Amino acid sequence: MTARMSGKIGLIVGVANHRSLSWAIAQAVAADGARVVLTYQSRFEEHVRELAATLPGDPVVLPCDVQNDEEIAAVFARISEEYGGLDFLVHGVAYAERADIAGGFLQTSRDGFRTALDVSVYSLIALARGAQPLMAVRGGGSIVTLSFLGADRVFPNYNVMGVAKAALESTVRYLASDLGPQQIRVNAISAGPVKTLAAAGIGGFSSILGVVRDKAPLRRAIEASEVGSTGAFLLGDGARGITGEVLLVDAGYHVLGM
């Protein structure tokens, strides 16, 4: 079988450990023949470098704090120097202060709101802006970010992160409109609950996971690898006519009324 993404270069932001959904996508695109550049936030460097060593092609691994414009610029400068262009970008970054998730939504702090929107949403804009010229020289590209049903529905202990995900999904649509004339597609995957590092910060997560397992049409929770496969599809040429979409990968849970 021909490697469907052979020759493609992608940047994957948001890998923290082997449970990260960004990592599942990295594995899927690498298996399809793509070469990837991975970034890390300082405390995750060791984990990311260990994971990168398991991928083919000796991936470039770079620091990137998405709140630091200089580090973002340095990442794209290195990609330009190393590869001359970029075919896809995976944005898997989200963060909110624990107090702004665990408390009542009414008690969300101004600084906490600002942090959640900056890290979880504005970072997609900043990264897309850096990727745009490198994708343009390739004749187009694909950007995928990660969302959750909490953007549309209220989930316990999700609070300001739900608002951030709603803003993220709106950002996907506006970026899709801006970048579409250059054949750069922008989509989101709204994944069902998966045991990741981010999920560990949500109080009662096990209960949410249990409800999905019991109620979803497929009567199970999803696996990270299913998000990986969907990501590889959206990033590849098979999805070349799809942009501005939020694709739900949640065992069908979102179709239920009760």
In DSSP terms, which residues pair with 248 in a beta bridge?
190
Among 165, 195, 215, 253, which one carries the catalytic annotation? 165
Among 8, 40, 158, 253, which one carries the catalytic annotation? 158
How many domains are there within the chain? 1
Distance CA 74, CA 4 (A): 29
Query: Which residues constitute the domain of residue 44?
Result: 9-255
Structure tokens at 84: 């001359």
Tens of pLDDT, residue by residue over 59-118, are: 999 999 999 999 999 999 999 999 999 999 999 999 999 888 888 899 999 999 999 999
* CATH code, domain with 103: 3.40.50.720
Q: Is the dihedral of CA 60, 65, 69, 70 positive or negative?
A: negative
Q: Catalytic residue at 158?
A: yes
Inside any domain, residue 3 = no
- CB distance 146 to 94 below 8 Å: yes
- CB distance 11 to 36 below 8 Å: yes
| pTM, entire model | 0.94
Inside any domain, residue 4 = no
Inside any domain, residue 2 = no
What's the first-to-final CA gap in the chain, in angstroms? Answer: 43
- If one counts every other C-beta atom within 10 angstroms of the C-beta of residue 69, the result is 12
- 3-class DSSP state of 141: strand
Tens of pLDDT, residue by residue over 130-152, are: 999 999 999 999 999 999 999 99
- If one counts every other C-beta atom within 10 angstroms of the C-beta of residue 129, the result is 16
In SS3 terms, 219-247 reads as CCCCCHHHHHHHHHHHHCHHHCCCCCCEE
Q: Catalytic residue at 165?
A: yes
